[in-house]
Structure 1
Amino acid sequence: MNPTNEQAQASVRVCQMLSNTYKDIHLFRFDIQTRDIYILAGENIQIIIPHNGNWRFLNETEL
């Protein structure tokens, strides 16, 4: 199972934005069960990219 094209493009955009602001990317994971991409960056930046490619910040209360 692979990420969707929308997810792939969104992940490149998000990683580029993080890189432009000199944020380290600590974890980049595609979860096969939920089909979401999870990115952990900087001190406490958590981003989720669902199959439709509409990324959002993840709150700790959602974990």
Structure 2
Amino acid sequence: MSHSTDCRAKLYMLSDLYRNIQLFRFSAESGEIYIFAGEELQIIIPQNGRWRFVDET
């Protein structure tokens, strides 16, 4: 799955779960996409498309 397709799929998934997308950012330096949804849900999608949740605990 391409980087943009994977990102789009995650945005649809979050909106289907009734999460507000608070921040969507593409880092040109790292090629990563950052998505902040709700108050605690954070997702990073690197160029390889293997997304992960950010665990800040």
TM-score between both structures, scaled by the size of structure 2: 0.90
What stretches of structure 1 of length at least 5 have no aligned partner?
A: none
Q: Which residue of 2 aligns with 1:10?
A: 6
User: What residue number does 2:43 align with?
Assistant: 47
Greater per-residue helix proportion: 1
Q: Secondary structure at the match of 1:9?
A: helix
Tell me the TM-score normalised to structure 1 length. Answer: 0.82
Secondary structure of 1:16 counterpart: helix
Q: Structure 2: any 5+ residue segments left out of the alignment?
A: none
Match of 2:28 among 19, 32, 52: 32
Secondary structure, counterpart of 2:15 in structure 1:
helix
Deviation at 1:25, TM superposition (A): 0.2
